[in-house]
Amino acid sequence: MRDRRRPLGIRRLMSIAALAVSALLAVGAVAPLSAHAAADGWWHTSGSRIVAADGSTVTIKAANWFGLETPNCAPHGLWSITLDEGLAQIAAMGFNTVRLPYSNQCLAASTTSSIDASRNPDLVALTPLQLMDAVIAKARAHGLRVILDRHRIESSGQSELWYTSTYSEKRWIDDWVMLANRYRDDPTVVGADLHNEPHGSACWGCGDASRDWQAAATRAGNAVLAANPRLLIIVEGVERQNDGKTTWWGGGLKDAGAKPVVLSTSNRVVYSPHDYPASVYGQSWFSASNYPANLPSVWDANWGYLARTGAAPVFVGEFGTKLETSSDAQWLKALVSYLGSTGLSFGYWSFNPNSGDTGGLVADDWKTPQTAKLAALAPLLAGKSTTPTPTPTPTASATPKPTATASATPKPTATASATPKPTPTPSATPTPTVAPSPSPGLSPVSATWMLQSAWQDGYVAEFTVTASRAVAGWTISWASPQATRVVNAWGMSCAVGSGTISCTGSDWAGALATGQSVRVGLQVAAGSAPPSPRLTVTAR
């Protein structure tokens, strides 16, 4: 999608209008429904189907756009594109829904970060909750529905249960009731994904109130429906099933058939597993002699049977891959075929390119479509173009600023059984440390280090690199004694050697104009992160 620039006078008029819209959003006002939403109405279930108000079958085709659950408290990428551009691109790809992760911490916050004011002037002053309003209003304008996904409690990381020692079940339910009331009259918000990826000690129907996810989902689902009885209640599975076998976080629904979630309002439950390929974690079925032919039986046993038997609809809320290995390509082809043949709903992870495990549907510039992935998904997205408007050549003012994902795609854990481990826990919202070149009088380039997130196996750091005069290129190096490799980088090419990481600007962040600043970053595999390293910055 192109960055649609407008004459100054028009921009001023639009800014005035945007302020008026923001004022309405601030009090939870609901904009008029699109013609599509008005005709389609609220969705409900019937056996294995999700159906519209007129009884027609609906297949949820969602793209996950994360960020509102991270320390930024805003959908990522709004440093490079407008909210309209992102939603227009998602719609153009053929999706009809956005799964929008959020954290309870962000719901209570007063500010967001990482939104470019020149691109999104109507969003920068909003609270995270008002920003959620804006996403929903703009999604409606693009003919998209929204599933709200309680992805995290605190923005720093995922919890295995729906509550913690500092965040009670009551507060979890109260926040859901608040959201259900806030969007009560807007069928754009069609579903509530109660808690992302229960895992660890979470059980299904075990009778232990402290960890019984089936019972907790029933309590929360009834509370949400008491506020808005027209919402779909989306219930994920657990990691460890009652037969002792493990699967993905949120992926185990083998026990839901015998012990279903039964709510006081009927025809509202949708079950939602997550599924990933071998590049995310080497589950046992990936090494079976009959792989990938064995995959449909794995899926059917864990969750597909619910739709096949008419017990309830299934929405595969997350699946994704970088599509860099033959095994992943086989997995994706098999899953697309399975979803297509069964008519199940789905949510691709992710629109964002900065998901460490899967990458995204667009490149690091947040605009260029990942055509190989879209071609693989084409059978599920039939009827829409998968080639959105081409990307313009980057300019000095349009600096992409990818950040590493703080969102939850499953990662392996070191246990005797095949279970995914927690997503690396990011640190609190980082405070930038200015680290100029050791010889600022000689070098025209300076850099600011910001530790974005850190965990026991690695870290993510970003830099703002600024040129006082035009340079053909630049290099940053710093000591990182426990670094073993650079997992990925954006705007730089990086190497590790002798406890030092050296990165050279590349692509859109290579040559810099006078006064230009670029935001670049990398993900490092390391035992620990240097808290505030001394940077050596050179230019050529």
Taking residue 417's Cβ as centre, other Cβ atoms within 10 Å add up to 11
Contact 231, 189 (CB under 8 A): yes
Which residues are tagged catalytic? Answer: 197, 318
- What CA–CA distance (Å, rounded) separates 68 from 402? 15
Measured between alpha carbons, how far is 107 from 149 in angstroms, rounded to an integer? 12
| C-alpha distance from residue 155 to each of 101, 182, 344, 362 (Å) | 11, 22, 30, 24
In this structure, the dihedral spanned by the alpha carbons of residues 275, 278, 284 and 290, taken in order and rounded to 10 degrees, is 100
Show the CA angle centred on residue 452, arms to residues 132 and 249, nearest 5°: 65
Is-contact 256 271, C-beta < 8 A?
yes
Distance CA 307, CA 312 (A): 6
Contact status, residue 518 vs residue 512, Cβ threshold 8 Å: yes
Name the strands in the sheet holding 483-490, side by side, starting at the edge strand that comes first in the sequence.
433-435, 445-455, 458-467, 517-526, 483-490
Selection from 162, 124, 129, 163 nearest residue 148 by Cα: 129
Q: Which amino acid is at 58?
A: V
Question: What is the distance between the alpha carbons of residues 129 and 28, in angstroms, rounded to a whole number?
Answer: 9
Sign of the CA dihedral 296, 300, 305, 306? negative
- Which DSSP state fits 426? P
